[in-house]
Amino acid sequence: MGRICSYLGILLLTFIFTYIFNVKENNVLLIMLLIMPVLDCISFIFFKMSTSAELEINNDTVEKCQRVFCTIKLINKGILLIPFIDYSLLSNGKIKVNADIYERRSLGIREIYEKSETLAAVHIGLGEIKLDDIVIRSLFGLFKGKVRCNEISKKIAIVPRVPNIEGIDMLMESNEASDDEDSSSLIQGEPGYDYKDYMPGDPLSRVNWKLSSKRNKLVIRKSLAMGKCKKIIVLDNHIISNKNFDDISDLLSEAVLGIANELYLADYEVDVFIKNGGRWKDTSVNNVSDIEELQIYFSTYIFSYDIGRLEGLRIYDDNKYDVILVTSNKDEEISIFLRSIQDKCNSVKIISNNRTKLMDEEFYIGTDYELGRL
């Protein structure tokens, strides 16, 4: 609007000088000013037809905290130079985009302009980045408008990491052999211990690297899953709305994955129960692909409050099992849930980011994924 007002002002002054003050030399300038909007409109229409934009990303799935590489393309398919193109890059908060990713460019004849940007995947979920406000201006600047383009918005599934949980041994049976056990019988795999020398064909997932480094040879855990208590991990999907909602949901998701992975590697039977839409999803963790399946699941999972959020859980298992509840809450519903299952399982452990103590066997997990007793 400012440019049009300026144009009208210059046109009025030129008209006054030409016909009121009888400055005949201004006739040419007046004619040029009169035909300028026509030329500008034609150039603007031509520029819009000749311009396109694209947004490319290196991957449609990334782990949290990894980098997202995107390429911005501005294309001039015409035979005229395009003087001004403005664009900015925006995101939905799951991906960190610098607020100052804004640029004004000009494009030469049939020129393709490319620029790479490095973004950060900061929260689990469905991230979206898009080119926004792709504005093109006419030759003299009297007209401007947005360019309609395809492929200027991209969605990225941000999956949680599988962190190493420090202190995971506190969730295992207390009579298990310690990694620091310094005994020759431990290496020989005599009764009473659950380690033996590595033999070709043994799974590398059972290698005790700490003990192996001490003995200068590979030592593995025997498969004692049948003699161990099954672990049932239950996720409480309610998070009180606050400014740290995304941080807490990330912590809980990755805590479930990290604990399940550590217990699986220690040869436990592991089941993970997650409630979504009023139904409990039960995932047995028997191999790495089950962990990867949970990663993908959490990338689209939405934490929300369900009435009776911990009700309806049915664990059909004749063997003994331990329940590990991962939660950010310390409310009455947690107490009701604990009372409902305490006679059906071997033990119950609460893992939370909340240091308020609710029961004797309770653990706090920090953002560095260090597990400690409250």
Intrachain domains 50-159 and 168-172+228-373 with the same fold: no
> Residue ranges of the domains in the chain?
50-159, 168-172+228-373, 184-221
Contact, 136 vs 144, CB < 8 A?
yes
pLDDT tens digits in sequence order for the chain, 374 residues long:
556 666 566 666 565 656 565 655 566 566 666 777 787 788 888 888 888 888 899 888 999 999 999 999 989 998 888 888 888 888 888 998 876 678 888 889 999 999 998 999 999 999 999 888 788 887 777 778 887 776 688 899 999 999 999 989 888 864 343 344 443 333 333 333 467 788 776 766 667 776 777 678 887 766 544 457 899 999 999 998 777 899 999 999 999 999 999 998 888 899 999 998 888 999 999 888 999 999 999 999 999 877 788 988 888 777 788 999 999 998 888 988 888 888 888 888 999 998 888 777 789 999 999 998 87
**C-alpha radius of gyration, the chain, whole number:** 32
Angle at 131 between CA 130 and CA 134, to 5 degrees: 155
Phi, psi of 239 (to 5 degrees): -130, 130
Hey, how many other C-beta atoms are within 10 angstroms of the C-beta on 1?
Answer: 5
Q: What CATH architecture is 50-159?
A: Sandwich (2.60)
Domain 168-172+228-373 has CATH 3.40.630.40: no
Q: Is the pTM of this model over 0.75?
A: no
Task: Return the amino acid letter for 73.
Answer: K
Cα–Cα distance list, 76 to 53, 113, 115, 176, 258 (Å): 9, 9, 15, 69, 49
